[in-house]
Amino acid sequence: MTAIAAPSPSLGLSVLVLNRSFVAVHVTNVRRALTLLFRDLAEVVHFEQGQYGAYSFESWRELSALQAVLEDPEHDWIRGVGFQLRAPRVIRLVECDRGPRQGLRFNRRNVFARDGNRCQYCGCHFPTSELSLDHVVPRSRGGLTSWENIVCACVACNVRKGGRTPQEARMHLVREPVKPKRSPLLSLKLGNPKYASWKNFVDRAYWTVDLD
């Protein structure tokens, strides 16, 4: 693949992946999306001026070159040696076909995203590194490791609560934990104007994708 001049932050941006039938199946990052494009396994799906266009790696590079002249600051660029490539937002797999992954993964990242990185006891926001997961009803009392019994908690609140229930510790939950209807990370992304073009493909309540 063409050499990338410097580590570009744009390589870590998110890209929506559609299957051949234009059904959203996955979210990946720009780095992996470019690999798929370069190997002709995917094409860029781009919506501009009321029209969809599909682009191979080469034609996307040509379009990028044209747009680079205009230097639209709203775009994210990958700068390589002697070329600039616009970061794609949506790609479509042209080979394999699979449906969306079923179910929403229950993991730390999704719990943090559901709770918006907010300690569910004191209500303050924290970076992920300063948050822990808390069993609302402690495991020693038969509390399950589930969407309904796990919340984000800051270290101070977690220590203060100890092995007690919220009632015993006289701590109140900011919000009752529930299983989200769709990927909370995806919901966060959709709130970002950068990913506005995804909405054309993901306006379905049942839609749940995993994010890498």
Q: Using CB under 5 A as the criterion, which residues of the chain lie in contact with Zn ion when the complex forms?
A: 119, 121-122, 154, 157
Shortest separation between residue 150's beta carbon and Zn ion, angstroms: 15
Residue among 53 and 138 whose Cβ is closer to Zn ion: 138
CA distance 197 to 174: 33
What is the DSSP code string of 190-202? HTSGGGGGGHHHH
Q: How far is the CB of 136 from Zn ion (least distance, A)?
A: 14
* 154-192 burial: b if 16+ Cβ within 10 Å, else e: beebbeebeeeebeeeebeebeebeebebbbbbeebbee
61: which residues sit within 8 A by CB, 6+ positions away? 83, 85
Which of 33, 171 has the CB closer to Zn ion?
Answer: 171
Minimum CB separation of residue 145 from Zn ion in Å reads 20
Q: Are 56 and 40 in contact (CB under 8 A)?
A: yes
Between residues 35 and 158, which has the closer beta carbon with respect to Zn ion?
158
Q: Tell me the Cα Rg of the chain.
A: 21
Q: Cβ 157 to Zn ion, closest distance in Å?
A: 3
CB under 8 Å to 82, separation ≥6 — which residues? none
CB of 99 to Zn ion, least distance (A): 40
Which of 27, 171 has the CB closer to Zn ion? Answer: 171
User: Residue 151 or 157: which CB sits closer to Zn ion?
Assistant: 157
